[in-house]
């Protein structure tokens, strides 16, 4: 039997999607709560409104007793030279009846374009991570951003700014207020695969203004492949480092997650 080029490509896409769906249950889901605020910024650029929901879950009973669940939502509104972005996430996990993850994250960002490539932004963020002894972190920040797009649709975004944050820690009565610089670089690279796929890279560096040696850094890499028009599968690996962590909290964390994402646009 002979196939036309278009039919052959369609068949390869369907086979790839089927293989990915079969592979998904065996992917590790032990680390949750990975959030990149620019994760969906470039998604569906023609859409005025974009809603994205990602769900990761796994579990076992018997000799291996564990459950993990996380949900993340991105909502974008685009109006000519303005973009509003709202992100929320929740993650919970336990193993053998003991909690191993419990975190919440909420982020709101407003972007105002100044030219076709540059703009200013303001953002608010609130988060909690009980297993890093973080009872609450609230911050407000501003910045300048520059975007570049190559002919092959590769995108690069550079941001420079700063923020003020207030932190409350578990079992500590005092709060801590600090001011940090915020420098980030994020890139999206289309991949020439059977299914529409992208590779995203992001890096954030956040030194304290009063003491640059007090430095937080985050690096993320994400692979996403389209299964259908609305559903995609993603694999994410993230590494973060805190040069001045609390006592009893690891300075470095390596996290990974995988799951299914649903996108609605109009």
Q: Is 39 exposed, middle or buried (0-12, 13-18, 19+ CB in 10 A)?
A: buried
Least confident of 5-19, 128-142, 159-173, 246-260: 5-19
Question: Distance of alpha carbon 143 from its chain centroid, rounded?
Answer: 19
Nearest to 219 by CA among 198, 200, 245: 200
- Token pair belonging to 75: 């909502």
pLDDT at 162 over 50: yes
Q: Check: CB of residue 187 under 8 Å from CB of residue 157.
A: yes
- Where exactly are the structural domains of the chain? 5-265
pLDDT in the model for residue 6: 41
**d(Cα 170, Cα 57) in Å, to the nearest integer?**
27
CA distances from 73 to 18, 63, 114 (A): 25, 33, 28
Fold of 5-265: Porin (2.40.160)
Choose between 248 and 120: higher pLDDT: 120
pLDDT digits (tens, 9 = 90+) for 98-142: 877 888 999 999 999 999 899 999 999 999 988 788 899 999 999
pTM for the model stands at 0.81
């Amino acid at each position: 039997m002979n196939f036309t080029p278009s039919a052959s490509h369609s068949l390869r896409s369907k086979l790839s999607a089927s293989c990915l769906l079969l592979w998904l249950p065996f992917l590790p889901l032990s680390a949750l709560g990975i959030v990149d605020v620019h994760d969906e910024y470039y998604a569906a650029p023609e859409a005025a409104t974009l809603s994205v929901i990602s769900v990761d879950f796994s579990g076992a009973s018997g000799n291996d007793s564990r459950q993990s669940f996380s949900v993340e939502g991105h909502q974008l509104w685009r109006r000519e030279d303005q973009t509003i972005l709202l992100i929320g996430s929740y993650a919970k996990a336990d193993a053998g009846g003991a909690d191993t993850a419990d975190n919440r994250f909420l982020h709101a960002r407003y972007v105002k374009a100044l030219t076709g490539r540059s703009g200013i932004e303001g953002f608010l963020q609130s988060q909690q991570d009980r297993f890093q002894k973080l009872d609450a972190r609230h911050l407000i920040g501003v910045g300048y951003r520059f975007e570049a797009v190559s002919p092959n649709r590769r995108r690069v975004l550079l941001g420079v700014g700063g923020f003020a944050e207030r932190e409350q820690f578990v079992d500590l009565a005092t709060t801590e207020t600090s001011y940090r610089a915020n420098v980030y670089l994020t890139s999206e690279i289309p991949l020439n695969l059977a299914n529409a796929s992208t590779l995203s890279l992001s890096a954030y560096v956040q030194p304290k203004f009063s003491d640059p040696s007090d430095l937080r850094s985050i690096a993320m890499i994400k692979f996403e492949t389209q299964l259908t028009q609305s559903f995609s599968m993603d694999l994410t690996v993230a590494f973060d480092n805190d040069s001045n962590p609390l006592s009893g909290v690891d300075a470095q964390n390596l996290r990974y997650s995988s799951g299914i994402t649903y996108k609605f646009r109009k």
